[in-house]
Amino acid sequence: MFGITLRKKQRKVFYRIVLASVITIALVLCSYFGLISVGDDIRPKVMFVLYLVPYLIIGYDILIKAAKGISHGQALDENFLMSVATIGAMVLGVTYTGDYDEAVAVMIFYQIGELFQAIAVDKSRTSISKLMEIRPDTAYIEEDGELTEVDPDEVEVGTVIVVRPGDRIPIDGTVVEGSSSLNTSALTGESVPRDVTEGDEVLSGCINLSGVLKIRTSKEFGDSTVSKILDMVENASNRKATTEAFITKFAKVYTPFVVVCALLLAIVPALVQLGIGADPEYQMWIYRALTFLVISCPCALVISIPLGFFAGLGGASSNGVLVKGSNYLEALSGVTTVVFDKTGTLTQGVFEVSDVICNEVSRERLLEMAAAAESSSPHPIAASLVRAHGMDIDRSRVTEIQDIPGKGVIAKVDGIDVAVGNTKLMESMGIACDAPSAMGTTVFVAIDGRYAGSITISDVIKPESRRAIEDLRKAGVDRTVMLTGDSENVARKVAGEIGLDEVYGQLLPGDKLDRLEEIMGSSKGSVAFVGDGINDAPSLVRSDVGITMGAIGSDAAIEASDVVIMDDDPRKVAVAMGISRKTMRIIRENIVFTLIVKFGFLGLAAIGYVDMWLAIIADVGVMIAAVLNSARALRYRWNR
Amino acid sequence: MKKSYKIEVDCANCAAKMEEAAKKTDGVANASVNFVMQKMQVEFVEGADPEQVMKAVLKNCKKVESDCEIEF
């Protein structure tokens, strides 16, 4: 049915609904065409007995549950209330309304609602599992030249596993043989394949696309990335949001409230009418009270909330954003201030040559000489010089290397004196140089005793960072801040380029936390902290929502943060907020819509405008609408 | 000690009731029912025997929702 497979229990309910409906319709038609010919005196009783057949078919389990509930002191459960409402309606059928199909209809619709609920939950569970269909079932080990299939759970750390093209990497490890490209989309949401070769670390959950890989495992299956992610997603909705807790509490008072109202409605107006000498119309008031009971089940309200959160969490993970709990998804929607760490978050954390100023020699020559002189230095600046030069340097060209700590390097390249270092080095050699650039670390180069030029090395801003801030602003964030240990000048330039509102530079690790607390004190809404998770743990924990980026594989970061963005893209912060806002909007819609319908119908029932038919149709209808609405949270279109 | 159990329950409100019932059971420090995943996470009081406690949890849950199931 509609591509939905029903479980055995659900199928049984489905057949009962069909059977009871058919009998009821047959009875209605028979009595309409006068096919039931009995005397008018016993007619109500005969009809009662006839309608009892479909009533029991559809409602027997509810009656039994109601009886069990009472024996356990659960007088106000919905089974009991449904039973009272429908039995009452049947009895009133004999004495007052002459309408028996109503009670059967209430039971039928109630069961349809319950069945729909069960199907919806099953369906959203499968859609999440499909989304998360990344659990590898097998690992392959090579034994005597043959591949043996084993349970990944049994593979010990340090074992070499073989991953063939098309297979999913089951366990985290390092490639020891082969090269290939990997589809990491299950982990990062990123569709561009990543190339790996010997010595590279690979994460479980990626699909091997081209070549055979031999991987030495570095973790057990249970500690591997894929297991961790699945665990996190599956258990995320265990951490309940305040909205959810509120609705659960509300549901607990809602039912007794409606029941008390029903009791009052059954007694008070009749007594008043009696008091003023009018006909008390007991039966009419009892009928209206019973209609109240039909609307007393809080199910629509209660079910749509966890379903909505669940769909939102699922939607987030399909976009490469792991949210560790419904509470954090909720908190994200209230974020108005986002505080970023700089290095590794907004910038790539990789130093590159950003500026070359040369006076007398060509740019290439300057870079070549500097790179050659520095070629044997382990310093990161040396590495970026060599990278910028881009060619292999024949080290035999470099002789008489002198490393001068805190200043730089002096060496002979092709027999020519080359000095590469900071202002101090130039001063000590009596060479005049320009002022150092404010935008990073500047090294000066002197060739053959004469000043040749300078090379500035700085951290590279991620290409997505600017868009990320724009997206956040569109998403309603009114304050974006960057904290960094770098110099004020560098910090300001980066912040200016990206378009951040505030920037604080030259912060020691401890200062970051103090500054964050200051920002939190002066912010209206919630404050999110975004870091790369390496040394930001205190800030991640302290902020209202701690977000780490590109941290997949780093356990400590995942531990400390509330939201994990699986790739390096800072725009995902806005995506996460977008999903969160959408989910919360859907949940609010559901709450408001359900409450309006429920209280609206209670009001109308009290003044007699709504009969039981309408009441149950509205009740089941609003629940179905709320469930379908919740499912929308699963889909979030990200405008790349 | 925390353990996760598979459960079977049909309506969201009943799941909330089960959670409540489980929390009140002796030997349970905290409990959380995940209706959509159909899972119950139980945190036991130090020194409690999970098997025994879960029997009591199931009994209490049955009282509030007669056709729920817990696998343990």
Can you give the three-state secondary structure of A29-68, one letter per residue?
Answer: HHHHCCCCCCCCCCHHHHHHHHHHHHHHHHHHHHHHHHHH
Q: Which domain CATH number covers A453? A: 3.40.1110.10
Closest CB from B17, B35, B66 relative to A306? B35
Q: Which domain CATH number covers A499? A: 3.40.50.1000
Q: What is the pTM of this model?
A: 0.80
Q: In Å, what is the CA distance from A607 to each residue of A269, A281, A297, A374, A594?
A: 11, 13, 20, 90, 20
Q: Under an 8 A CB cutoff, do B11 and A251 touch?
A: no
The 3-class SS string of A515-548 reads HHHHHHHHCCCEEEEEECCCCCHHHHHHCCEEEE
Last residue of a domain, one of A561, A581, A601: A581
pLDDT above 70: residue A534? no
Tell me if chain A has a CB within 8 Å of the CB of B52: no
Closest residue by Cα to residue A96 from A619, A612, A620: A612
User: What's the ipTM?
Assistant: 0.82
Taking contacts as CB-CB distances below 8 angstroms, the residues of chain B near A300 are none
Q: Is residue A163 helix, strand or coil?
A: strand
Tell me if chain A has a CB within 8 Å of the CB of B43: no
Mean pLDDT of A418-427: 83
Taking contacts as CB-CB distances below 8 angstroms, the residues of chain B near A307 are 12, 36
Q: Choose the mutation target among B7, B11, B59 for the interface with A, i.e. most A CBs under 10 Å.
A: B11
Q: Which domain CATH number covers A199? A: 2.70.150.10
- DSSP assigned state of A93: I
pLDDT above 70: residue A591? yes
For the ranges A70-79, A308-317, B29-38, the lowest mean pLDDT is seen at: A70-79
- DSSP assigned state of A94: I
Q: Under an 8 A CB cutoff, do B64 and A65 touch?
A: no
Do both A445 and A353 map to the same domain?
A: yes
pLDDT above 50: residue A511? yes
Assigned token pair, A308: 């909505």
CB atoms within 10 A of CB A19: 14
With respect to residue A226, please indicate whether it lies within any of the assigned structural domains.
no
Q: Under an 8 A CB cutoff, do A125 and B38 touch?
A: yes
Given strand B69-71, what is the order of strands in its sheet? B28-34, B39-44, B2-8, B69-71
Tens digit of pLDDT for each residue in A222-238? 888 777 777 777 777 77
Chains A–B, number of C-beta pairs less than 8 Å apart:
68
Phi, psi of A280, deg, nearest 5: -65, -20
With respect to residue A139, please indicate whether it lies within any of the assigned structural domains.
no
* Residue of A341, A569, A611, A619 marked active site: A341
Whole-angstrom distance, CA of residue A563 vs CA of residue A580: 11
CB atoms within 10 A of CB B12: 27
The larger pLDDT score, comparing residue A398 to residue A333, is at: A333
Angle, CA A143 vertex, CA A138 and CA A147 arms, to 5°: 45
Tell me if chain A has a CB within 8 Å of the CB of B35: yes
Q: What proportions of chain B, in percent to the nearest 5, are helix, strand and coil? A: 40, 30, 30
Tell me if chain B has a CB within 8 Å of the CB of A68: yes
Whole-angstrom distance, CA of residue A15 vs CA of residue A569: 51
**Which CATH number among 3.10.20.30, 3.40.190.10, 3.30.420.250, 3.30.70.100 corresponds to the domain B2-63?**
3.30.70.100
Tens digit of pLDDT for each residue in A367-422? 888 888 887 777 767 778 888 887 777 777 888 888 877 778 888 888 888 888 88
Q: Under an 8 A CB cutoff, do B11 and A310 touch?
A: no
Residue of A nearest to B32 (CA): A238
Do both A425 and A509 map to the same domain?
A: no
Whole-angstrom distance, CA of residue A410 vs CA of residue A398: 10
Assigned token pair, A448: 């053959």
With respect to residue A143, please indicate whether it lies within any of the assigned structural domains.
no
Question: Cα torsion for A390, A395, A401, A404, to the nearest 10°?
Answer: 30
Beta strands A545-549 and A526-531, pairing class:
parallel
Tens digit of pLDDT for each residue in B43-66? 999 988 999 999 999 999 988 888
Highest mean pLDDT among A197-211, A321-335, A476-490: A321-335
With a CB-CB cutoff of 8 Å, which residues 423-462 of chain A face chain B?
Answer: none
Whole-angstrom distance, CA of residue A33 vs CA of residue A43: 15
With respect to residue A326, please indicate whether it lies within any of the assigned structural domains.
yes
CB atoms within 10 A of CB A435: 8
Q: In Å, what is the CA distance from A271 to each residue of A258, A468, A616?
A: 20, 67, 28
For the ranges A290-304, A317-331, A519-533, the lowest mean pLDDT is seen at: A290-304
Do both A627 and A543 map to the same domain?
A: no
Mean pLDDT of A472-499: 88
- Catalytic annotation present for A223: no
Residue of B nearest to A63 (CA): B66
Q: Choose the mutation target among B18, B23, B30, B34 for the interface with A, i.e. most A CBs under 10 Å.
A: B34
Q: Under an 8 A CB cutoff, do A302 and B63 touch?
A: no
- Return the residue matching tokens 């000048």: A489
Do both A38 and A52 map to the same domain?
A: yes
Do both A244 and A123 map to the same domain?
A: yes
Q: Provide the domain limits for residue A165.
A: 156-219
Contact indicator for A280, A218 with CB cutoff of 8 Å: no
Residue of B nearest to A114 (CA): B11
Mean pLDDT of A51-65: 92
**Distance from the A582 Cα atom to the nearest Cα atom in chain B, whole angstroms:** 19
Do both A361 and A249 map to the same domain?
A: no
Domain limits, chain B: 2-63
Contact indicator for A589, A622 with CB cutoff of 8 Å: no
Rounded CA Rg of chain B: 11
Query: Which pLDDT score is estimated for A389?
Result: 80
**Distance of alpha carbon A248 from its chain centroid, rounded?**
22
Positive or negative, the CA dihedral A588, A590, A593, A596 is negative
Tens digit of pLDDT for each residue in A602-627? 999 999 898 888 999 998 999 999 98
**Distance from the B1 Cα atom to the nearest Cα atom in chain A, whole angstroms:** 16
With respect to residue A525, please indicate whether it lies within any of the assigned structural domains.
yes
Contact indicator for A309, A587 with CB cutoff of 8 Å: yes
For the ranges A177-191, A215-229, A509-523, the lowest mean pLDDT is seen at: A177-191
Whole-angstrom distance, CA of residue A509 vs CA of residue A518: 15
Tens digit of pLDDT for each residue in A11-57? 999 999 999 999 999 998 988 887 777 777 788 888 888 999 999 99
List beta partners, residue A481: A339, A502
Tell me if chain B has a CB within 8 Å of the CB of A74: yes
Residue of B nearest to A10 (CA): B10
Phi, psi of A479, deg, nearest 5: -145, 120
Assigned token pair, A314: 């699922």
Tell me if chain B has a CB within 8 Å of the CB of A533: no
Last residue of a domain, one of A565, A581, A597: A581
With respect to residue A151, please indicate whether it lies within any of the assigned structural domains.
no
Q: How many helices (H) and strands (E) does chain A have?
A: 20, 22
Q: Choose the mutation target among A9, A303, A305, A590 for the interface with B, i.e. most B CBs under 10 Å.
A: A303
Residue of A nearest to B68 (CA): A65
Tell me if chain B has a CB within 8 Å of the CB of A43: no
The larger pLDDT score, comparing residue B68 to residue A354, is at: B68
For the ranges A80-89, A141-150, A184-193, the lowest mean pLDDT is seen at: A184-193
Q: Under an 8 A CB cutoff, do B67 and A65 touch?
A: yes
Q: Is residue A340 helix, strand or coil?
A: strand
- Return the residue matching tokens 């190339």: A195
Please name the amino acid found at residue A137: D
pLDDT above 80: residue A1? no
With respect to residue A2, please indicate whether it lies within any of the assigned structural domains.
no
Do both A385 and A522 map to the same domain?
A: no
**pLDDT range class, residue A546, cuts 50, 70, 90:** very high
Mean pLDDT of A478-503: 88
Closest residue by Cα to residue B22 from B7, B36, B37, B11: B7
Taking contacts as CB-CB distances below 8 angstroms, the residues of chain A near B16 are 248, 251, 302
Q: Under an 8 A CB cutoff, do B12 and A302 touch?
A: yes
pLDDT above 50: residue A441? yes
Do both A457 and A467 map to the same domain?
A: no
Mean pLDDT of A344-354: 79
Tell me if chain B has a CB within 8 Å of the CB of A307: yes
Do both A302 and A332 map to the same domain?
A: no
**Distance from the A31 Cα atom to the nearest Cα atom in chain B, whole angstroms:** 36
Beta strands A139-143 and A146-150, pairing class:
antiparallel
Tell me if chain B has a CB within 8 Å of the CB of A235: yes
Query: Which pLDDT score is estimated for A438?
Result: 64
CB atoms within 10 A of CB A102: 25
What's the number of domains chain A is made of? 4
Tens digit of pLDDT for each residue in A103-152? 999 999 999 988 988 888 888 777 766 666 667 778 898 877 788 888 88
Whole-angstrom distance, CA of residue A597 vs CA of residue A615: 10
